[in-house]
A = this chain, B = another copy of it.
Amino acid sequence: MDDLLARPDRSDFAVFRSVTTRWSDNDVYGHVNNVVHYSWFDTVVNALLIERGLVAVTGESPIFVVAETGCRYFASLAYPQTVEVGLAVARLGGRSITWRLGVFAAGGSEAASAGRFVHVCVDRRSRRPVAIPDDIRTVLERL
């Protein structure tokens, strides 16, 4: 799956979300720390799912848990800049979604990082994998 970590262009993504950086994003070397990119991935993927009504933080419906993630870093970013994160469904399996992500400086064309984020659909209580419900699948196929 490593091609998902190839350096993306903005044209690889149809959906973008802005994220404001924070003082704590910079580490002692003065740039956004590698871990923070994953926090942004979590943020933009879940916001999309929540805002399109595909997942509810509380309730009985299935939830998505993270099975595997990866990130390759190409250029540094630094607070206080704003970033834009592009996201796309790279693969839609029966029980899993593989997201591709790209982080860009606001307005920038060169990706600062590329991410891969594998979500598995699970029963909220048992945490066992279940099929992605059809209504969710329909929305994801359009992304």
Tell me, in angstroms, the Cα distance from A34 to B69 when the chains sit together. 8
- How many monomers of this chain does the complex have? 4
- Asked whether any CB of chain B lies closer than 8 Å to the CB of A35, the reply is yes
Q: Fill in one digit per residue for A26-61: 1 if any B CB lies within 8 Å of its CB, else 0.
A: 111110011100111011001100110000011000
Tell me, in angstroms, the Cα distance from A13 to B142 when the chains sit together. 43
Number of A interface residues, CB 8 Å?
A: 42
- Asked whether any CB of chain B lies closer than 8 Å to the CB of A109, the reply is no
Residues of chain B with a CB closer than 8 A to A139's CB? none
Given known A35-B38, A67-B73, A76-B127, contact A46–B29 (CB-CB < 8 A): no
In the assembled complex, 23 residue pairs joining A and B whose CB atoms fall closer than 8 Å, in A order, are: A5-B68, A20-B20, A20-B43, A22-B40, A22-B42, A23-B27, A23-B33, A23-B42, A23-B46, A23-B47, A24-B27, A26-B28, A28-B28, A28-B57, A29-B65, A35-B38, A35-B39, A43-B79, A46-B80, A47-B80, A67-B72, A68-B70, A69-B70
